[in-house]
C-alpha cells in the first residue's frame, strides 16, 4: 500500500482525488491539506466522503507535511506548486501536479500567458507531461509528473492522431470547447453562482486563453519527442450551465483524401486497446462520461467544406483532472494502470 498525501485537498479536484483514492486498492491517503479549511473535518465539507474519511481533518501545509509519503498530489491554484516542488521533490517518492505550473517546457511562455515569470524554471525539464494515452512510456516510473487539465486533455486526445500522422494541416486549427461550472473551482465567483450560469451559455478567454500554448505543445509533440512544425490553435472556451463535463469540438483541414469512415478508422486504430477511450460514430455526450475516466471521441469529414471535425467529451474532474492524476500515479508507482478508476459513467 502506497502512502499518499493530497496538498490542496479541499477543492473540487482534491475532493475527487479523495473519492478515487478511497476506492483504490493500493493508495492510502495519510494527509490531506486545505489551508482555507484547516481544522475542518473532511466529512463536514464533503458529506459524500463521510463513509470513508469520517476521522480525517484538513490540515495546513508546512515543510514536513508530506514527509514519508510515497506519492503526493498537488491540487493547488496556479503558481502555488512552484514554491513547494523544489523542496517537496527531495522529500517524497513521486509528485503529481494537477496545476499548469510545470506543463510548459519553455519558461518564457509563463510571463506571456500566465502574467508572471516561472520561479523554478530549472525543474521544467524534469517533469513529464501526464497524458498516458499519448505519453505513457515517459510516465512509467517518473518521479515528477505534470498532469494536464480538462481543456488540453480533450483537445489533445482529439487532435493528436491527425496532427502527428500528418493527416491535417497543423496551422489554422480551431477548437471550441464548453465546460461545466466545477472547472472554475469550489470558491464562489460572480460568474459561477447559480443565478449567473443558470439558463446561460457564455464564451470567455477570447483570443488568448492561457491553455492555448499547452494545447499547441501537446498536439505538436509526438510521443518520441519529435516536433510537428507550425502547429497553431485558435481556442475559445465556453461556460455551460452544468456541474461537470467538457465537450471539445475541433476543426482542421485534411492534407489528403480523408472521409468520415477513414477518420473514424484512424482514431480507432490510434487508440486501440486503450482502456479509457471510446471511439464511436455516436456524438459524444458529457453526461455519458460522468464520474468516469473515459474520453468519448468521434470524427466527421464534411464533404462540402472539406473540413475534419473531431469531438471529445470527458468528465472535467476525472479524466480532465483527478482521474488522470490517479492514472499517472499508477504508472509512476508501477501499479496496474486502471486501478481505482472506472471506464463506466453514472447515468442519469
Instruction: Please give the average per-residue pLDDT across 225-249, as a whole number.
Output: 97
* Paired strand residues for 179: 239, 246
For residues 180 and 241, give the distance between their C-alpha atoms in angstroms, rounded to a whole number: 6
SS3 171: coil
- State the DSSP H helix or E strand holding residue 18, giving kind and residue range, or none if neither: helix 12-22
The answer to whether the beta carbons of residues 18 and 29 sit under 8 Å apart is: yes
For residue 150, indicate whether it is catalytic: yes
What tens digit of pLDDT does each residue of 241-285 get? 999 999 999 999 999 999 999 999 999 999 999 999 999 999 999
Per the structure block, which three cell numbers stand in for 83? 514554491
Kindly report the CATH number that applies to the domain delimited by 2-147+319-333: 3.40.50.720
> Predicted confidence band at 63 (pLDDT cuts at 50, 70, 90)?
confident
**Nearest one of 22, 9, 94, 6 to 342, comparing CA atoms:** 22
Residue with cell 509519503: 69
The active-site residue, picked from 21, 150, 250, 312, is: 150
Residue 107 CB partners (closer than 8 Å, separation 6+): 117, 118, 121, 124
pLDDT band at residue 196 using 50, 70 and 90 as cut-offs = confident
**pLDDT of the residue at 338:** 98
Per-residue confidence (pLDDT) for residue 310, from 0 to 100: 98
Q: Which run of H or E residues covers position 295?
A: strand 295-301
Structural domain spans, the chain: 2-147+319-333, 151-316
pLDDT tens column, 122-138 = 999 999 999 999 999 99
pTM of the model: 0.97
Helices (H) and strands (E) in the chain — how many of each? 11, 13
Q: Residue 92 pLDDT more than 90? A: yes
The CATH number of 151-316 is which of 3.20.130.10, 3.30.360.10, 3.40.190.80, 3.30.70.1230?
3.30.360.10
pLDDT range class, residue 305, cuts 50, 70, 90: very high
pLDDT-based confidence at 13, cuts 50/70/90? very high
Amino acid at each position: 500500500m502506497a502512502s499518499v498525501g493530497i496538498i490542496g485537498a479541499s477543492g473540487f479536484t482534491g475532493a475527487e482525488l479523495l473519492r478515487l483514492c478511497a476506492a483504490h486498492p493500493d493508495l492510502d491517503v495519510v494527509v490531506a491539506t486545505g489551508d482555507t479549511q484547516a481544522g475542518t473535518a473532511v466529512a463536514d465539507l464533503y458529506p459524500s466522503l463521510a463513509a470513508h474519511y469520517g476521522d480525517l481533518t484538513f490540515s495546513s501545509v508546512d515543510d514536513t507535511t508530506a514527509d514519508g509519503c510515497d506519492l503526493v498530489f498537488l491540487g493547488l491554484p496556479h503558481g502555488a506548486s512552484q514554491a513547494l516542488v523544489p523542496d517537496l521533490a527531495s522529500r517524497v517518492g513521486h509528485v503529481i501536479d494537477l496545476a499548469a505550473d510545470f506543463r510548459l517546457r519553455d519558461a518564457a511562455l509563463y510571463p506571456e500567458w500566465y502574467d508572471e515569470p516561472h520561479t523554478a524554471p530549472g525543474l521544467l525539464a524534469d517533469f513529464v507531461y501526464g497524458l498516458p494515452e499519448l505519453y505513457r512510456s515517459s510516465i512509467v516510473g517518473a518521479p515528477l509528473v505534470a498532469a494536464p487539465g480538462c481543456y488540453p486533455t480533450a483537445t489533445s486526445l482529439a487532435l493528436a492522431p491527425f496532427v502527428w500522422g500528418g493527416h491535417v494541416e497543423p496551422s489554422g486549427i480551431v477548437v471550441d470547447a464548453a465546460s461545466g461550472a466545477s472547472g472554475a473551482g469550489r470558491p464562489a465567483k460572480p460568474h459561477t453562482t447559480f443565478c449567473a450560469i443558470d439558463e446561460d451559455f457564455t464564451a470567455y478567454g477570447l483570443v488568448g486563453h492561457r491553455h492555448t500554448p499547452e494545447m499547441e505543445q501537446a498536439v505538436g509533440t509526438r510521443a518520441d519527442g519529435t516536433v510537428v512544425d507550425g502547429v497553431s490553435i485558435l481556442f475559445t472556451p465556453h461556460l455551460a450551465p452544468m456541474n461537470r463535463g467538457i465537450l471539445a469540438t475541433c476543426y482542421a483541414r485534411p492534407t489528403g483524401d480523408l472521409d468520415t469512415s477513414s477518420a473514424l478508422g484512424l482514431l480507432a486504430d490510434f487508440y486501440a486497446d486503450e482502456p479509457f477511450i471510446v471511439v464511436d460514430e455516436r456524438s459524444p455526450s458529457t453526461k455519458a462520461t460522468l464520474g468516469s475516466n473515459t474520453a468519448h471521441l468521434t470524427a466527421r469529414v464534411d464533404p462540402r467544406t472539406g473540413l475534419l471535425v473531431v469531438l471529445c467529451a470527458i468528465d472535467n474532474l476525472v479524466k480532465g483532472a483527478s482521474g488522470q492524476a490517479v492514472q499517472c500515479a499508477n504508472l509512476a508507482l508501477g501499479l496496474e494502470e486502471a486501478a481505482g478508476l472506472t471506464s463506466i459513467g453514472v447515468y442519469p
